[in-house]
DNA sequence: CATAATATTGAATCCCGCA
DNA sequence: GTGCGGGATTCAATATTAT
């Protein structure tokens, strides 16, 4: 073990996370953001339906022999993080179903106090190409205080402002890191397989630190945490093992122009437009399975199935496709074409039920 | 331990979950939904996993002494669930940040194979009154197969249809159980503190079971799982320790009117439809020997042989292998790749002839 | 130049029956 | 068990090329 470092602020420390963490002084940082390897353990190759190859994470740093090995790794770096964290500090740890249950359980076992689990809902996730599972459309962040007695920081009002003056919820809708934000090499290939969106770190840092405070990232990668921290007037400590990633991070951080202090305010969040599937009306019993639907002239009548399928003679499918089929039209808006046979013997257009449901959840 | 029970279908078994589970025969249910007690670390009303109250929570309360107790409880009932679950069955386990990391880690440690974690996004969550955390607006469901080799059921097409013909994602937006759905006593107070919405169970059951299959709920409460299962034409086994809850569940289940079979059936995916060999279409003269097939862009043309083989230059074989060969692709679905040259000079995809033939023989 | 059509891509534990 | 081969399977956001 090397000598204890003075607190190395606003630097990217290149080296093994655990070794570097051990050299940092205790109780010295206000917050930690950690995006550790996920232990994906992918087997073969995966192709899209058009036969193109999916470029998965097959890097050496993500390979662990088994779950106990991964747990030992997790507990080792979390132990050092807890030592380095100030008494009132909080930690964010991020993962997916492969590893996040190990992370959360380790945090609890080690005496951290979970404050929230937060869901990053991806606006544009990769689909499930083989149709064998649900689209893996989110990742999980666990937010925890150093211990139950921590007087932790939570910038409640900033979060509320960021969310159009409504309390920030535990589910965050944020796009993947693509486009200009995604770092690429000379050949145009992504520099890092799992670069996180700056919007995610913006929210994390805004919620749990104040300007001038120190945030540590033990798995810095290409520097998202540090870049956002610098822009928002926070101090950072980044640790990254791969010299190539560390160099890219340094260049990226150097290019960041810190915001003027007055601008350290909230950016408006991208609002999500409400969308409602017909199946949801079925699920919720607003248009129960077994209901009869007709067109306005009652030329056709169809039955609603448990999954929101419509059956009309031999035609089966969505409200749109069955509407198109019976009319022998190329397409059809099922919401306005189909009507529910009401108990009073009348017809009520499907779209009215949708509007009702949307209004109820707004 | 009591004697082994014959499989008690469509019954609410009143008793301790673990004891009753131990009396069920092995490998007998298709799916399990479990919403276990969360009672963890709730200051003031701390309860043990056996639901007894913990007296005098002192400041020196040792979490290391109590989390293992919860873990032991978790592993005990999960062990029995795994025994009772059929080889190809799946389990849904539900929790919040207090306990879900313990649940997920236990599932992995015991050899279950996680398929997805699913987020129930609450439309109308309780706000955080103190403004010290994010609004706790979701709960987590872990969906897992009995083991990595399980050929588990996932009704992909039903989920897709339910979601307006787009792949179902891992984040589900569903309102809390309120209004007329919420069971209440004579005084108008809610009967059960954590009654789950039927819409949630509708989706769980539709995704992972078929009509006639058996779903087990070891913590039935007031019977949401059983009521939805019955309505959807599934069989159920419910276990509930509290006689009051069990009685309420029985009354609720008895009032359920099962859907007619036509509505309870979901749209089958193509994988589940009866197979039809291309040669049969040739035999029946729907695509006579000698027909010319082309891809959609008419880049390649092939001739149909009497036995359903395709010839395109030197490539000979099935519609799939020739399609793959001409494109130099690793694989190809010949049904959607090849088109028949119609007498009108147009192209009609081969799959349309198959669907026609399948409809004719149904 | 503007708009439209086409191509690319993302933390992924991604098939299944039959011989 | 393993191997073979039929044939099932994708969404949203950018970027690039074509009209």
Q: Is residue B117 packed enough to be buried (19+ CB in 10 Å), middle (13-18) or exposed (0-12)?
A: buried
Chain C nucleotides with an atom closer than 7 Å to a protein C-beta: 8-17
Q: Looking at per-residue confidence, does A267 or B281 come out higher? A: B281
Q: Is residue A269 in a domain? A: no
Q: What's the confidence (pLDDT) of residue B65? A: 47
CA distance B341 to B304: 12
CA distance B230 to B259: 8
Q: Which residues in window 138-167 of A are less than 7 A from strand C by Cβ?
A: 139
Window B:226-245, CB contacts with A under 8 Å: 232
Nucleotide in closest CA–C1' contact with A132: C14
- Torsion of the alpha carbons at B280, B282, B287 and B290, rounded to the nearest 10: 160
A332 near B CB under 8 A? no
Q: Which residues in window 93-152 of B are less than 7 A from strand D by Cβ?
A: 149
pLDDT per residue over B28-54, tens digit each? 999 999 999 986 554 544 444 445 554
Q: What's the confidence (pLDDT) of residue A44? A: 87
B285 near A CB under 8 A? no
Q: Is residue A270 in a domain? A: no
* B30: DSSP letter: E
Q: What's the confidence (pLDDT) of residue A337? A: 93
Examine the domain organization and report whether B95 and B244 are in the same domain: yes
* Number of domains comprising chain A: 2
Examine the domain organization and report whether A160 and A29 are in the same domain: yes
Q: What's the confidence (pLDDT) of residue B64? A: 34
Q: Sheet containing A310-312: which strands, arranged edge to edge? A: A315-317, A310-312, A301-304, A292-294, A339-341, A347-349
CB contact under 8 A, B162 and A116: no
Q: What's the confidence (pLDDT) of residue B297? A: 85
CB contact under 8 A, B232 and A306: yes
Examine the domain organization and report whether B245 and B325 are in the same domain: no
- Gap from A12 CA to C11 C1', Å: 23
Q: Is residue B4 in a domain? A: no
Q: Is residue A132 packed enough to be buried (19+ CB in 10 Å), middle (13-18) or exposed (0-12)?
A: exposed
- Gap from B148 CA to D8 C1', Å: 21
pLDDT per residue over A37-69, tens digit each? 999 978 889 999 999 999 988 888 888 999 999
Boundary-marking domain end, from B244, B269, B294: B269
- Torsion of the alpha carbons at B232, B144, B146 and B72, rounded to the nearest 10: -110
Examine the domain organization and report whether B206 and B315 are in the same domain: no
CA distance B3 to A188: 67
Q: Is residue B221 in a domain? A: yes
For the segment B237-253, the average pLDDT, to the nearest whole number, is 97
CB contact under 8 A, A169 and B199: no
Q: Sheet containing B301-304: which strands, arranged edge to edge? A: B315-317, B310-312, B301-304, B292-294, B339-341, B347-349
Is B11 strand, coil or helix? strand
* Those residues with Cβ within 8 angstroms of residue B334's Cβ, 6 or more apart along the chain or in another chain: B278, B310, B318, B319, B320, B322, B323, B350
Q: What's the confidence (pLDDT) of residue A266? A: 40
pLDDT per residue over B55-84, tens digit each? 433 433 333 348 998 999 999 999 999 999
Mean pLDDT, rounded, of chain A: 91
- Strand partners for B141: B94, B118
Answer left, alpha or beta for residue A131, where phi above 0 means left and psi between -120 and 50 means alpha. left
Rounded to a whole number, what is the largest CA-CA distance in chain A? Answer: 84
- Gap from A180 CA to D3 C1', Å: 46
CB contact under 8 A, B161 and A121: no
Cα B172 to Cα A178, A283, B122, distances in angstroms: 25, 12, 8
CA distance A217 to A198: 14
Residue B1 distance to chain A (closest CA, Å): 32
Most B-contacting residue of A308, A319, A322 (CB-CB within 10 A), to test interface = A308
Residues lower than pLDDT 50 in chain A: 265-271
CA distance A323 to A336: 10
B84 near A CB under 8 A? no
Model confidence at B333, in pLDDT bands (50, 70, 90)?
very high
Examine the domain organization and report whether B102 and B186 are in the same domain: yes
Is A11 strand, coil or helix? strand
Nearest chain B residue (CA) to A97? B117
What letters, b where the CB count within 10 A reaches 16 and e where it falls short, cover A66-87? ebeebbebbeebbebbbebbbe
CB contact under 8 A, A105 and B102: yes
Helices (H), A149-213: 156-162, 198-208
Examine the domain organization and report whether B118 and B265 are in the same domain: yes
- Helix B224-231 / helix B198-208 crossing angle, nearest 10 deg: 60
Q: Looking at residue B59, which CATH number applies to its domain?
A: 3.40.50.150
Contacts of A285 in chain B (CB under 8 A): 181, 198-199
- Gap from A358 CA to C4 C1', Å: 33
B264 near A CB under 8 A? yes
Decide: A48 and A55 in contact? Cβ < 8 Å: no
CA distance B339 to A5: 70
Examine the domain organization and report whether A189 and A298 are in the same domain: no
Chain D nucleotides with an atom closer than 7 Å to a protein C-beta: 1, 5-16
Q: What's the confidence (pLDDT) of residue A284? A: 82
Residue A136 CB lies within 7 Å of the nucleic strand D: no
Q: Which domain holds residue A160?
A: 11-263
Decide: B140 and B118 in contact? Cβ < 8 Å: yes
pLDDT of B175 strictly over 60:
yes
Q: What's the confidence (pLDDT) of residue B228? A: 98
* Those residues with Cβ within 8 angstroms of residue B305's Cβ, 6 or more apart along the chain or in another chain: B289, B311
CA distance A113 to A143: 9
CA distance B339 to B327: 15
Examine the domain organization and report whether A207 and A330 are in the same domain: no
Q: What's the confidence (pLDDT) of residue B2? A: 63
Answer left, alpha or beta for residue A18, where phi above 0 means left and psi between -120 and 50 means alpha. alpha
CB contact under 8 A, B161 and A308: yes
B336 near A CB under 8 A? no
Contacts of A88 in chain B (CB under 8 A): none
Examine the domain organization and report whether B253 and B312 are in the same domain: no
Full DSSP string of B308-319: S-EEETTEEE-H
Window A:164-183, CB contacts with B under 8 Å: 167-171
Q: What's the confidence (pLDDT) of residue B50? A: 47
Residue B130 CB lies within 7 Å of the nucleic strand C: no
Q: Is residue B3 in a domain? A: no
pLDDT of B193 strictly over 70:
yes
Boundary-marking domain end, from A230, A263, A296: A263
pLDDT per residue over B306-328, tens digit each? 999 999 999 999 999 999 999 98
Decide: A215 and A236 in contact? Cβ < 8 Å: yes
Model confidence at B19, in pLDDT bands (50, 70, 90)?
very high
Decide: A29 and A216 in contact? Cβ < 8 Å: yes
- Gap from B149 CA to D2 C1', Å: 15
Q: Is residue B5 in a domain? A: no
Q: Is residue A123 in a domain? A: yes
Examine the domain organization and report whether B312 and B245 are in the same domain: no
Nearest by CB: B101 against A51, A98, A105? A105
* Those residues with Cβ within 8 angstroms of residue B6's Cβ, 6 or more apart along the chain or in another chain: B25
B331 near A CB under 8 A? yes
Q: Which residues in window 97-116 of A are less than 7 A from strand C by Cβ?
A: 97-98
Examine the domain organization and report whether B205 and B79 are in the same domain: yes
Q: Is residue A5 in a domain? A: no
Boundary-marking domain end, from A203, A236, A263: A263
CA distance B340 to B343: 9
CA distance B184 to B170: 31
Nearest by CB: B267 against A169, A285, A317? A317
Give the count of beta carbons closer than 10 Å to the beta carbon of residue A245.
22
Examine the domain organization and report whether A133 and A251 are in the same domain: yes
* Those residues with Cβ within 8 angstroms of residue B146's Cβ, 6 or more apart along the chain or in another chain: B82, B85, B86, B87, B88, B89, B90, B91, B112, B113, B152
Count interface pairs A-B at CB distance under 8 A: 212
């Amino acid at each position: 073990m090397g000598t204890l470092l003075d607190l190395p602020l606003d630097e990217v420390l290149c080296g093994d996370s655990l070794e570097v963490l051990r050299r940092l002084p205790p109780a010295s940082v206000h917050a930690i953001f950690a995006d550790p390897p996920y232990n994906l353990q992918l087997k073969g190759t995966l192709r899209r339906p058009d036969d193109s190859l999916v470029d998965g994470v097959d890097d050496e740093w993500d390979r662990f022999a088994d779950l106990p090995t991964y747990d030992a790794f997790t507990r080792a770096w979390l132990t050092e993080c807890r030592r380095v964290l100030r008494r009132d500090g909080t930690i964010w740890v991020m993962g997916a179903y492969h590893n996040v249950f190990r992370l959360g359980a380790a945090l609890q076992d080690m005496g951290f106090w979970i404050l929230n689990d937060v869901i990053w809902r991806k606006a544009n996730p990769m689909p499930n190409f083989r149709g064998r599972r649900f689209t893996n459309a989110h990742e999980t962040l666990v937010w925890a205080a150093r211990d139950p007695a921590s007087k932790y920081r939570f910038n409640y009002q900033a979060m509320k402002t960021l969310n159009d003056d409504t309390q920030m919820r535990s589910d965050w809708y944020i796009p993947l890191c693509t486009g200009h934000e995604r770092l690429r090499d000379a050949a145009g290939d992504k520099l890092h397989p799992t670069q996180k969106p700056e919007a995610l770190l913006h929210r994390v840092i805004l919620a749990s630190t104040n300007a001038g405070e120190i945030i540590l990232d033990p798995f810095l990668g290409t520097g998202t945490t540090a870049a956002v921290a610098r822009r928002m007037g926070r101090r950072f400590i980044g640790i990254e093992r791969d010299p190539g990633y560390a160099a890219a991070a340094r260049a990226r951080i150097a290019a960041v122009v810190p915001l003027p202090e007055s601008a350290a305010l909230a950016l408006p969040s991208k609002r999500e437009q409400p969308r409602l599937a017909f199946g949801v009306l079925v699920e919720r019993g607003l248009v129960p399975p077994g209901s009869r639907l007709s067109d306005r002239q009652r030329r056709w009548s169809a039955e609603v199935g448990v999954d929101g399928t419509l059956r009309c003679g031999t035609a089966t499918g969505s409200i749109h496709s069955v509407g198109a089929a019976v009319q022998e039209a190329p397409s059809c808006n099922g919401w306005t074409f189909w009507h529910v046979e009401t108990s009073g013997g009348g017809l009520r257009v499907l779209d009215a039920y949708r509007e009702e449901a949307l209004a109820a959840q707004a």
